[in-house]
A and B are shown apart, each in its own frame.
Chain A
Amino acid sequence: GAVVSQHPSWVICKSGTSVKIECRSLDFQATTMFWYRQFPKQSLMLMATSNEGSKATYEQGVEKDKFLINHASLTLSTLTVTSAHPEDSSFYICSARTPLAGYTGELFFGEGSRLTVL
């Protein structure tokens, strides 16, 4: 299947600092990427939908000023957690949809990024 790469796979930072996570589609162009968050033993929760060249669409309850999303190219989307706090510690996963099948294209996920805020 299609390959989605995420970096870094884990990061530890101090409270108050900002952290950037990159998501790349390696073998296809993704006009739309999705960012999810997963707490231990919980399901994946959609945070935002990222569209290339336009502003991201955030789910209800997700602070857009805290979780900055940039989708500057067809193969790269970034999530920046600004002024991170311990409660932001989580597993962040990006995904991208292959363009061939339109709306029902299959969604492939990155390996995830484990963020720990001290």
Chain B
Amino acid sequence: EDQVTQSPEALRLQEGESSSLNCSYTVSGLRGLFWYRQDPGKGPEFLFTLYSAGEEKEKERLKATLTKKESFLHITAPKPEDSATYLCAVQRGSQGNLIFGKGTKLSVKP
């Protein structure tokens, strides 16, 4: 069964304290792994897509990496505005629909 597990469920950081979020997955025939940011009451905002093990992508303070079993979202020197829920999803099937993890709620205190 295809499954996506994110850890931790919640993470509290001080401003400037770097850390990583984990996304473990089991899926038959991975077509892509996606990272999204979701603010309360809003739809997910696209961050990254990773397609193959070893791939890395960066955007500002965020860096996403992918292995055959998991992906990490590294946050370097976070700021309070980085506070949000970060969702990981894997793409399956020819239609391209996504299976989401439950997310990691990140809180960055000034």
Interface residues of A (CB under 8 A from B): 1, 4, 6, 32, 34, 41-46, 49, 57, 91, 93, 95, 97, 103-112, 114
Contacts and interface: CB of A to CB of B under 8 A. Distances in A.
B45 interface: yes
A22 B70 CA distance: 35
Contact of A44 (B32, B49, B100): B100
B43 A43 contact: no
B103 interface: yes
Interface of B: 31-32, 34, 36, 41-46, 49, 51, 87, 89, 91, 94-103
A91 B84 CA distance: 17
A114 B46 contact: no
A32 B100 contact: no
A109 B36 contact: yes
